[in-house]
Structure 1
Amino acid sequence: MSKQAKLHRETHEIKSAEDISQLISKYAGQGKSNKVIWLALIGVFIDAYDLTTLSFGIEQVIAEFSLTPVMTGVVASAIVCGTIVGNLIGGYLTDKIGRYRVFMADMVLFVIAAIVAGLAPNVWVLIVARFIMGISVGVDLPVAMSYLSEFSKFNGKGNKAARLAAWCPMWYAASTVCFGVVLGLYFLLPPEYSNWLWRLSLIFGAVPALLIIFIRGKYLTESPIWLANQGRLQEAADILKNSYDIQAVVSKNQVVSKKMKEKQSFFVLFNKTYLSRTIVAVVIHISVAFQYTTIAFFLPSILTRFFHTTTLTTITTTLGLNLAFAFTGGLLGVYLASRLTSRSVLVIGFVLQFLALIALGFIGDPSGSSILLYVAIGMLGLWLFAEGFGPGAQMMVYPTMAYPAEIRGIGVGFNRAVTGVAQAISLFVLPIWMNKYQTDIFSIIAIFAFVPIIVIGFILKFEPTKQDVDSVIELDNLEDKVKLNNQTAL
């Protein structure tokens, strides 16, 4: 009898939330649960697409609305400012009212905001619409990461770390699709309607959100781990049967989890159990935010301003770099996530990014030499590749796997809010810095690759992939540990 067939016949008695978590950690990947993973990744796709759309279109927006450098920074940072609000709201609501309701409300908001932004008659409507789109992006990531973690097993093929790392290639797939849409519209739109290039690319972002709304009833469910932590064991057991093909029966002798009695807030992230984890995650997110905004978001501007490329060359080069380096790096990150520790992959990624940025700063303006131009583009590719398999993939593994289910939304939301603050600052100051420092900007940003190497490599060595936090009880002090050991001995 196969392992899967045996699983279908075996009945598991459920007494507590920990029993639900342990079953999922061991057996997830059966039945419809994989469909939930793909729906969560489509949510990540929408996030990335919406954040990418104006990375090329910002030049058209500047021309259409006659923006100053300061107003350019306001337009560019509006969506990221929205993510800060969305991360905090989404993280709280994801833990408070559940994953499903937050996810579906967010998809509706995506559709409305994308259409309004694409049809914006003036810059102020665009700013407001992009801010609302940012709220949608911010709300989505905590719930999407919760789904990816709570519908995956801890070890083996397709484990939690690998599925969480999959957010990165999905992110760059969305970036690639975005520039593919821009490239298609570039050839399809008549010259007199070329100003609609950025508008139509924004509106297209509503399509995948509509897809999720239409098929939600067939595949999407609430997280059984979240339900169990709310004391709703029977509903959790029903989902195990319908979505995982796991036969589970709720015991009459239920054990009320200590987690249910605790009211969690953002302050819990700074207690002695989670403080070091929070510091590591925050360092990663700030470092990635400044680097990603410089290289990935402003990549079209770098190619246009510093490398003096034409519009068509800028689009095709950006598309090629994302597909050849960032996306393939992300796929490698998924492979490495299930085989190497998160910490080691992160350090390697940051080291390569540091070297690439130092090289770009040393090369400076490569327009006078075709060889230097190719080397500079190669260094941009190296940075994107390192981002894909290293920090890009692992930055969501850390907060998602470091915090248990009852505070996972809060943890991911807080760290993404930190990212939002860092990105908002960088989106505002980078256009000004680029005008002032030109290619020296690369040497300045290299600092954000160097700091996490020191912190993660030598100071705080927490590794989130060593144990499944959903299947163990976090102990805050020695007294609790002693009590547990005494109970175990008895």
Structure 2
Amino acid sequence: MSTIAVPTPPADAAARDAHAAHAAAPAVIRSAQDVARLVNAGAATGSNARVVLAIALGGVFLDAYDLTSLAYGVKDIAREFALSPVQVGFVSAAITFGAILGALFGGYLTDRIGRYRVFMADMLFFVVAAIAAGLAPNAWVLGGARFLMGFGVGLDLPVAMAFLAEFSRVAGKGNKAASVAAWCPAWYAATSTCYLLILGLYAILPAHQLGWLWRLTLAFGAVPALVIIAVRSRYISESPVWAANQGDLEGAARILKRTYGVDAVVERAQGGDPHAAQTRPRAASWRNYGVLFNATYRRRTILAATIGAASSFGYNAIIFGLPVIIASFLQQGPLTTIVAALALNLLFAFVGGLIGVRTAPTVGAWKMTVLGHSLQFVSLIGLALIGHPGNGVLVVLAILLLGGYLFGQGFGPGSHSMTYASLSYPTSLRGIGVGFNQTLVRSSSTVSLFLFPILAAALGTKVFWVIALAPLASLLVLLAIRWEPSGYDIDAEDYAQPAPGQ
């Protein structure tokens, strides 16, 4: 077993003192590293930092809602457009095809032009694509709209993770790991909202108009995007650390004041250059994708990619197939299926996500991910052995095993796949790092969403044996590579490098 040694950076007492005393005297910033230290010390009481985090999580909410919104209606879509299982797979996977390209370009653009601009652009994708999907006259238009929606999802996740990491303290309650892990309960809140909306629409729509249910569900995705666009100018700012890394210390000082509640003044070095003595972080470049595999980051990249891909493959198969699985187990109508799927999301996945956030600063990401994958593996093996439950006891056990899988996903890989993707890299590489990770994750999602309808039709409940390979593979890599990102000052690596681009 090989191990990554994780250095523990010394506490920066000067930064903490400066931050604590910001109300009495402005903090002095001479370099981007000073800005990072102020952010790492935590926002001032009453600042807008938490609002920024909430808006960033709103983007994650949209990602999850749009990915989930097709799950219940896929049977109606197949019937309305007379689709074969293979065609259903293509329509289902269209959103992840778009997300692959969106993540590839979004990661680079997040580092190149900034977090704010990319975030505002991807909101427009959500609005246009959601409305187009809801009005789709045929499967081709629906697939195209879902592809466009996926491109927006791919753009959004790198920038959302950057906001969560770069507006949070490095240690203690609510640290960077906890903020990033909050993407998970936000995700499950979105999936639960989707099922609640479906339940409400099912209750109010006349029986002869239930064919509109999937259209209204897809189109509703434009609503939260419009809300985010409406509030952006008041609360959203550029990341202060990213701005400082571009050499704009004055801009970073303004952001610290406006959003973080920290008064800061720039002290210029001799000759008027405030950056003369600072080590400049890497400039954004497509070549930075190669940096992810250098001696410093290679093992972290492999670990983050494995956790993300395994988590995505299994979760997408389960969550997309949940209505079908529950209907098969319970042999009931659509109302029971909707309620059961909603209950499983709220009671197991969402609660698990909250536990993942709570334990991130104390237990850490590595232990919780190992525990979560272990529970998932056991749950999937149990489901494979039960097959089609023949009596009430086995039905209850099967439902509890589904809940166990979602619970393990919530506090384990669901929360911390993004912790590893975001906090294994400093600010200069974070967009690229998350973008590369999401390219692989969405590729895994595409395979999962495309194969699940086909495998489920061919194998029935034996498909759980195939899905169980995903958490097992991730567990083996976790045991080989022990990297703990929670509480580690990853941004310090930007200022310790010998030269830009190396």
TM, length-normalised to structure 1: 0.94
1:109-258 matches, cutoff 5 A: 109-253=125-269, 254-255=274-275, 256-258=278-280
Once residues 29 and 127 of structure 1 are traced to their aligned partners in structure 2, the CA distance between those partners, rounded to angstroms, is 46
Aligned letter for 1:107?
M
Q: Residue in 2 aligned with 1:469? A: 490
Cα offsets for 1:226-251 (capped at 9, x unmatched): 10110011000111112112111111
Once residues 435 and 466 of structure 2 are traced to their aligned partners in structure 1, the CA distance between those partners, rounded to angstroms, is 28
Q: Residue in 1 aligned with 2:300? A: 277
Q: CA deviation at 1:277?
A: 0.4
Once residues 135 and 59 of structure 1 are traced to their aligned partners in structure 2, the CA distance between those partners, rounded to angstroms, is 24
Once residues 372 and 261 of structure 1 are traced to their aligned partners in structure 2, the CA distance between those partners, rounded to angstroms, is 57
State yes or no: 1:70 paired with 2:66: no
1:91-490 matches, cutoff 5 A: 91-253=107-269, 254-255=274-275, 256-260=278-282, 263=285, 264-366=287-389, 368-457=390-479, 459-473=480-494
5+ long unaligned stretches in structure 1: 482-490
Q: CA deviation at 1:155?
A: 1.1
Once residues 447 and 475 of structure 1 are traced to their aligned partners in structure 2, the CA distance between those partners, rounded to angstroms, is 39
Once residues 6 and 25 of structure 1 are traced to their aligned partners in structure 2, the CA distance between those partners, rounded to angstroms, is 15
Q: CA deviation at 1:257?
A: 3.0
1:463 counterpart SS class: coil
Q: CA deviation at 1:306?
A: 4.8
Cα offsets for 1:115-165 (capped at 9, x unmatched): 000000011000000000000111100000000000001112211111111
Aligned with residue 24 of structure 1, among 39, 43, 48:
39
Once residues 5 and 189 of structure 1 are traced to their aligned partners in structure 2, the CA distance between those partners, rounded to angstroms, is 56
Give the fraction of aligned pairs with identical amino acids, expressed as a percent: 48
Aligned with residue 56 of structure 1, among 72, 79, 86:
72
Once residues 116 and 59 of structure 1 are traced to their aligned partners in structure 2, the CA distance between those partners, rounded to angstroms, is 20
Q: Residue 146 of structure 1 contacts residue 400 of structure 1 at CA under 8 Å; is this kept in 2?
A: yes
What is the total number of aligned residue pairs between the two structures?
475
Q: Residue 108 of structure 2 contacts residue 284 of structure 2 at CA under 8 Å; is this kept in 1?
A: no
Q: Residue 231 of structure 1 contacts residue 260 of structure 1 at CA under 8 Å; is this kept in 2?
A: no
Once residues 225 and 3 of structure 1 are traced to their aligned partners in structure 2, the CA distance between those partners, rounded to angstroms, is 17
Q: Residue in 2 aligned with 1:485? A: none
State yes or no: 1:79 paired with 2:95: yes
Once residues 450 and 193 of structure 1 are traced to their aligned partners in structure 2, the CA distance between those partners, rounded to angstroms, is 44
Structure ranking higher in helix proportion: 1
Residues 296 and 181 of structure 1, relative CA distance in 2, 3 Å threshold: same
Aligned letter for 2:43?
A
Once residues 396 and 80 of structure 2 are traced to their aligned partners in structure 1, the CA distance between those partners, rounded to angstroms, is 32
Residues 244 and 83 of structure 1, relative CA distance in 2, 3 Å threshold: same
Q: Residue 306 of structure 1 contacts residue 438 of structure 1 at CA under 8 Å; is this kept in 2?
A: no
1:2-21 matches, cutoff 5 A: 6-21=21-36
Q: CA deviation at 1:196?
A: 0.4
Q: Residue in 1 aligned with 2:11? A: none
Q: CA deviation at 1:309?
A: 2.8
Q: Residue 29 of structure 1 contacts residue 151 of structure 1 at CA under 8 Å; is this kept in 2?
A: no
Aligned letter for 1:243?
T
Q: CA deviation at 1:89?
A: 1.1
Residues 421 and 4 of structure 1, relative CA distance in 2, 3 Å threshold: closer
Q: CA deviation at 1:29?
A: 5.5
Aligned letter for 1:270?
F
2:268 counterpart SS class: coil
Q: CA deviation at 1:342?
A: 0.9
Q: CA deviation at 1:466?
A: 4.4
Once residues 167 and 430 of structure 1 are traced to their aligned partners in structure 2, the CA distance between those partners, rounded to angstroms, is 25
Once residues 429 and 415 of structure 2 are traced to their aligned partners in structure 1, the CA distance between those partners, rounded to angstroms, is 21
